[in-house]
Every structure is written in C-alpha cells, then in structure tokens.
Amino acid sequence: MRRSLAILVLFAILVPWPRTAGAVVLEQVLVFVGHHHARVLLVLDGAVEDPRTSSAPGVGRAPPRARVLLPGTTASGTLTSAYRPIPGGVEMPVDQGGIAALAIGEVSGGSEVVVTLAEPLAATLLKVGRRALLLDLRSPQASPDPSLPGPDVLARFLNGVGFVRDEAALPGSRPRIVVDAGHGGEDTGAVGPTGTRESDVALGLAKRVADELEHRLGAEVFLTRDADRFVSLQDRAALANGQDADLFLSIHLNAAPTPALWGVETYYLDVASDADAARVARRENASVSGPEDPTSAVVSQLRVSGTSALSRRLAHEVQEAVIRRLSTVFGPDQIRDLGVKSAMFHVLVAARMPAILFEASFLSHPEEELRLRTPAFQRETADAVVEGVGRYLEAVRP
C-alpha cells in the first residue's frame, strides 16, 4: 500500500530587505516530509551559481541545523501573518519529518535557507531542472522514504505533472482530471430568488465539463459526485489525490448579500486577494464541521499542497476562455469579467495538484439566475472551461 505523502508549502516568501537588481529570485519553498527523511524544494526564477549546503550537529542547547547558501539571490512574495517575522527574515514552523522549522534570511551577497532539525540529518543538495534545488535530509540510520518525490518527479511537477503519476510525463498520455460539483445533498449551497439551488446547477455544469474533457481532450475524468448527495470537502480532495490527478476543477455558483453583484470569476488557492474573495471563501467553506476556522488553520499551519503558480495559470486560462466565449455568444454587455482572485478554499487545500474553484455567475442576481438555468448557457460555459483547460495543458504538459 502506498504511503500518504505529507506536504507543506511556504508560499512566495518575502523577507524585509531591498531586492538587488539582477538577482535571482527565490519564488517558492516546498517541504516534503517522510519517516526520518525530508526534502526541501527551492524554486527560483533562474539558475544559481555555486549554491552550497552545510550541516552542523547540535551543541548544548543549540539544535542541529542544515543550511543552504544561495549567492546572488533574493526572496520575493507577500509576507503574511502566517509567517513569523524574525530578525532579517521569516520563519515557518514544520515539526514533522525530523524538521523543526525553516527560516529564510539575508546574508552577504545573497540569501540563506536555514533548516532547524529535531534530530541530526545528513544534508545533500541536488539540482532539479534549471531553476530549482532539492535539499535532501535523511537520518544516517534510516532507509530512504519511497513516498518522497525524487528529482525527476519534481522536475515534471514543476512543468504541471502530478507528483506520483510518473506515466503522465510520457508523450501522448491522457491527462487525469477530477471535476468537483460543489455542495450536494443537505448542503444546497446558494439559493436564487426563484429557488434555483447551487448544488443542482453545479452538478449539471460539472457533468457537461466532464463529458467535454473526455470527448475533446481525451482526458480521464472523475467526478466527486454524480448525483445529489453530500460529499465532505476533505473527501473531494482525497479523491483527487487518490487518483493521482493532474488537475482539480471545483465548479460553483456565486452569491452575495445584495442582488446587485454579478459576473464570472475564478479562484486559486492562496491568501485572500480582497474582501470579496474572503467573503466567497467563507461561504464555500461553511460546510466544514467543527469550531475551527479552516482558512485560518490553513494559513497558520501551512498544511497546503500543490503549487500556487500553476493553479494561478490554470485559473487565468479558464477565466479568459469563459469570458471570451460567453461575450461572443451572449454579447459583451451581458457578461462581466470579475477576473482571477485568490482565497483559502478548504476544498482546494489538500489537493496535491493544480486546483481552481470556478464561480460560474451569481445566483443571487435575478437575471443571472435565470440564465444559469438554461441549457444553452450551461453548455457554452462548460465548453469554455474545457477550452481554458486545453490551453493550459498545451502550455505545461511535456
């Protein structure tokens, strides 16, 4: 039985020092944890000359550490409350796989990644493609953990291929896509002025998208639900991970407190881009049971997998295709482009592959509710989503 892979992502870290002109930028840090074995992937926007690693055993109260020096680099991104500021940089607690914490800071002539270890681990630095480095940390007494992705798998992952399904990299292989119809069963989602339920329309759209993905792109498609039944948000992502899917598409309809809001928007997983995005995330996360706010838990613990950059690209391709097609068919004055946004959607959190949440239109807007119920609008919307997915796959698959 294949062991589950625990992954943590430190999204686009920003350290509080000025960016050096011409410096290579450290864009993302991913931590893969196993049994007495961990790997830290450093994703940059270019090649680093002479990267170096070193390790030191614990002495007295000082814990063991591993360091990676990145000459001529600087970190970039958005510093959020999820990351604890430390002098000269930021720190992410990990507390898994023998790693206690990970910090990024400024050093003379570049940046340094410091991994505080819970136990002594041997450190090895490997190149992954042209623009990534992999720090391998393993207990000398432990065997390599086969659940951790190796350099070849990670190189394909950076090009949009799922972590585990190696055969996805083969020319002509079928993309594997999970299509998620939002809500269902006792969770109806939003309800329009005339009683249209989000769960019903989302299911209709998801089925159309699934059919077209199979017929037009030759994809292998799985639906998280094919009937009006409840599926937890955790189980939806678990299905995608279990199938080693290349993409995860969650289909929803929007709603707002006022009927004046209307339009189409697409989300990818990251901190909320604005107040409206945070509101949408709260509504879509409402079915999560328990008193804990899933969005704050995700931000604080960083138990997020996948890649923000690829999800963002997928979101842009889908949004642009939908707006272009619907504006042509129904008229530009009938379609409003609300753009691509980010938010912490619980259904996307555990997905190990590029994942987006598509909000087709506003059920709370009377005219859009009526349009969402028509087969013609559903058909054109589904076709456009598939067109966007096709453009994405053409761009990122080998």
Per-residue pLDDT reduced to its tens digit, 173-223 = 789 999 999 999 999 999 999 999 999 999 999 999 999 999 999 999 999
Specify if 212 maps to a domain. Answer: yes
Domain with residue 196: its CATH number is: 3.40.630.40
Structure token pair of residue 395: 């761009």
The runs of H, that is alpha helices, within the chain are 151-157, 198-217, 233-242, 275-284, 294-301, 308-330, 346-349, 366-372, 375-396
Residues 109 and 188 in one domain: no
Q: Is the pLDDT of residue 94 over 60?
A: yes
Of 2 and 71, more confident = 71
Q: Is the pLDDT of residue 2 over 70?
A: no
Q: Is the pLDDT of residue 5 over 90?
A: no
Residues 283 and 365 in one domain: yes
Q: What is the pLDDT of residues 140-155, one digit of tens each?
A: 887 887 767 788 878 8
Q: Is the pLDDT of residue 314 over 80?
A: yes
Q: What's the pLDDT at 131?
A: 86
Q: Is the pLDDT of residue 240 over 90?
A: no
Last residue of a domain, one of 131, 158, 185: 158
Average pLDDT over residues 303-320: 73
Q: Is the pLDDT of residue 32 over 70?
A: yes
Band (103; pLDDT cuts 50, 70, 90) = confident
Q: Is the pLDDT of residue 135 over 60?
A: yes
Residues 182 and 152 in one domain: no
Residues 173 and 72 in one domain: no
Of these ranges, 5-14, 130-139, 188-197, the one predicted with the greatest mean pLDDT is 188-197
Q: Is the pLDDT of residue 366 over 80?
A: yes
Specify if 163 maps to a domain. Answer: no
Structure token pair of residue 84: 């604890």
Residues 129 and 256 in one domain: no
Of 347 and 310, more confident = 310
Structure token pair of residue 116: 């505080």
Residues 386 and 242 in one domain: yes
Contact 183, 359 (CB under 8 A): no
pTM over 0.85? The answer is no
Specify if 44 maps to a domain. Answer: yes
- Say which residues have a Cβ less than 8 Å from residue 388's Cβ, sequence separation at least 6: 314, 317, 318, 319, 320, 321, 322
Distance from C-alpha of 99 to C-alpha of 138, rounded to nearest angstrom:
10
Specify if 199 maps to a domain. Answer: yes
Q: Which of 156, 169, 133, 174 is nearest to 39 (CA)?
A: 133
Residue-range definition of the domain harbouring residue 146 = 6-158
Last residue of a domain, one of 109, 124, 158: 158
Contact 85, 79 (CB under 8 A): yes
Of these ranges, 31-45, 60-74, 152-166, the one predicted with the greatest mean pLDDT is 60-74
Which H or E run contains 41? strand 37-44
Distance from C-alpha of 228 to C-alpha of 231, rounded to nearest angstrom:
10
Residues 210 and 139 in one domain: no
Specify if 30 maps to a domain. Answer: yes
Residues 39 and 178 in one domain: no
Q: What is the mean pLDDT of the chain?
A: 77
Specify if 273 maps to a domain. Answer: yes
Residues 226 and 254 in one domain: yes
Residues 293 and 318 in one domain: yes
Domain with residue 85: its CATH number is: 2.60.40.3500
Residues 134 and 211 in one domain: no
Specify if 59 maps to a domain. Answer: yes
Q: Is the pLDDT of residue 370 over 70?
A: yes
Last residue of a domain, one of 108, 125, 158: 158
Lowest mean pLDDT among 19-23, 151-155, 363-367, 378-382: 19-23
Specify if 356 maps to a domain. Answer: yes
Residues 190 and 312 in one domain: yes
Q: What's the pLDDT at 375?
A: 94
Number of domains present in the structure of the chain: 2
